[in-house]
A and B are shown apart, each in its own frame.
Chain A
């Protein structure tokens, strides 16, 4: 049972990590806690669902278009809401509150169009293969491990995206510019970096990541609702705080840690106390490392 639970934890953790990647990217570059990330995530799911059911596109095409659609939404959110606030030097909390407003609007628009019912992708388009396998050290009579193709896909995609983001940030000119902005937008601007342009690009990429997370999670959990962003958003906030605000590795490790804490508290303690245990652990870690596992926010401020 332990190995199966470990597998469950890896797949749940990857879901959290996948969501948190875009979330933490926006914070890292723009310095904004963008609470509309949950709504954009939901939007991605609905766009793909509509394209697949109404326009009968293939899942691959629908996913790419959903990424683009969600990215566009992120772009518009930055252009219409966050940029005017930046231009007026609004205090830190303002953009966060504004993104709560965007969440409410998007949720209600989607509910108005599609209704509040829980929807799912039609059967048949979703890869439904699952694999059973035994680990070499397990006895022949023990239960084999079960994993579905989608679970594997989510794990792989979230690791691949993390790798891609990290490589971009570390190794490319673009990444250098983004890191400069994260350090100080003003200084970056003075150095001739197109700060506003890169803000828009970051918003697009982060929202597209949120969108693809929405599609994948919608596919594997069959629970597409206008409110699907809310509970994952709460977990997402916990993950990026745990990992260190704005840190990409942190989002990944934080996501996996939260998944592990949740699954193991269900497996070996009690499912009644799952959130108490996992958030209690999170609290303990923050007591020891207030800036999160990989955080450098505090040092930078000091």
Chain B
């Protein structure tokens, strides 16, 4: 027993030594949900990052140095995100880290990075207040607050909408925060809300809420939901004879919406920073490379991960790394806000978050949104 334990320990040590990065490697951490119910996003995010890292390294890396991506599974849970952040920052000594997948986890784990003066760069946290946590917090995920006013205005113009009903998931930080923004936007644009219905994560039957919505006779249904839930909501609406258009946010931006709902999603209006219908060269190249490598179509989470690594690579090119991790982390924090690039999600730059209560904030995305409409089983840009 004793012997075998020792054998295992020395074996593990060997792996550890063999896996250690050489001097010329730049270690970047990625905390993503690879298991648990948020894994569907975590997988796409990891794929986007891996693709970008391979491309950058294949072209000779950054000033000759290779990027080494250390991916850790934070399971979409706050506690795990904290553990993973600690491991990446203090044990693996990464230069900076990406993630976590959910806004919920970010509120728990980001303070650790801020305290350790390490850049944390989110690609999928859209909740309000993420970047208020400190100057080391960055994100390229666009806040719903910046996107939804355009979306609602475009939908009203297209369908002549006068009154709406709302449905949202009330126990999820993402859909709840999306709902809060929708509520504000609808009030700002003076569109009456006939009824507001909620559902809980894991629900599969929405007919009770939809029957109630149908009875109020709305012109459209505003839906702050994830794509898979939204798809089922649409199918069940059509089944109940509710045939009005749906309006949604970032959560709708997934091929899953159509894989599940098929034609039921037609006429859905969705605003998002990335669109598969965007034919810019950078996006076309990204989508083709992604499909070739993973045999499935890219989504917004992959695109934002992909762009995030290119954004950091851009900053790293201008840095002279000293090998002293604290100095280098500080230097990256100074350089990163200056980056501007045109990636898969279009023109991108950072915008300083407004200071809150005298405390300096981090950096949000400054990016235009695309409003799309679903036609014939896919999103096309709404003109």
> What is the interface residue range for chain A against chain B?
35 or more
B202–A231 contact, CB under 8 A? yes
When chains A and B are docked, how far (Å) is the Cα of A262 from the Cα of B260? 25
For residue B259, which residues in chain A have a CB less than 8 angstroms away from its CB? Answer: 120
The closest CB in chain B to the CB of A146 belongs to: B240
**A118-B40, A221-B232, A223-B232 given; A146·B208 CB < 8 A:** no
* B359 proximal to A (CB < 8 A): no
Min CB distance A86 to B, Å, is: 29
B204–A221 contact, CB under 8 A? yes
* B150 proximal to A (CB < 8 A): no
**A15-B205, A111-B35, A123-B262 given; A266·B197 CB < 8 A:** yes
For residue A223, which residues in chain B have a CB less than 8 angstroms away from its CB? Answer: 204, 228, 232, 260
Which B residues, 176 to 218, have Cβ-Cβ distances below 8 Å to chain A?
197-205, 207-209, 211-212, 214-215
B204–A217 contact, CB under 8 A? yes
B37–A271 contact, CB under 8 A? no
Min CB distance B132 to A, Å, is: 27
Min CB distance A220 to B, Å, is: 9
B208–A5 contact, CB under 8 A? yes
**A1-B211, A11-B207 given; A116·B241 CB < 8 A:** no
B35–A108 contact, CB under 8 A? yes
When chains A and B are docked, how far (Å) is the Cα of A111 from the Cα of B235? 25
Q: Which of A9, A11, A117, A271 contacts B197 (CB 8 A)?
A: A271
Which B residues, 224 to 266, have Cβ-Cβ distances below 8 Å to chain A?
228, 231-232, 235, 239-241, 256, 259-262
A146–B205 contact, CB under 8 A? no
For residue B201, which residues in chain A have a CB less than 8 angstroms away from its CB? Answer: 231
For residue B170, which residues in chain A have a CB less than 8 angstroms away from its CB? Answer: 272
Q: Which of A8, A227, A270, A275 contacts B207 (CB 8 A)?
A: A8
B37–A225 contact, CB under 8 A? yes
Which A residues, 32 to 60, have Cβ-Cβ distances below 8 Å to chain B?
none
When chains A and B are docked, how far (Å) is the Cα of A262 from the Cα of B256? 28
The 6 closest A-B pairs by CB, nearest first: A231-B202, A116-B39, A221-B204, A266-B208, A118-B228, A263-B208
Q: Can you identify 22 A-B contacts, CB atoms within 8 angstroms?
A: A11-B205, A12-B205, A12-B208, A15-B205, A111-B35, A116-B37, A116-B40, A116-B42, A146-B240, A146-B241, A223-B232, A231-B202, A263-B207, A266-B209, A266-B212, A267-B212, A271-B197, A271-B199, A271-B209, A272-B198, A274-B198, A275-B200
Q: Which A residues form the contact surface with B (CB < 8 A)?
A: 1, 4-5, 8-9, 11-12, 15, 108, 111, 115-118, 120, 123, 130, 132, 143, 146, 148, 217, 221-223, 225, 227-228, 230-231, 262-263, 266-267, 270-272, 274-275
Additional pairs, 5, CB under 8 Å, beyond known A146-B240, A267-B211: A4-B211, A223-B228, A228-B204, A231-B201, A272-B170
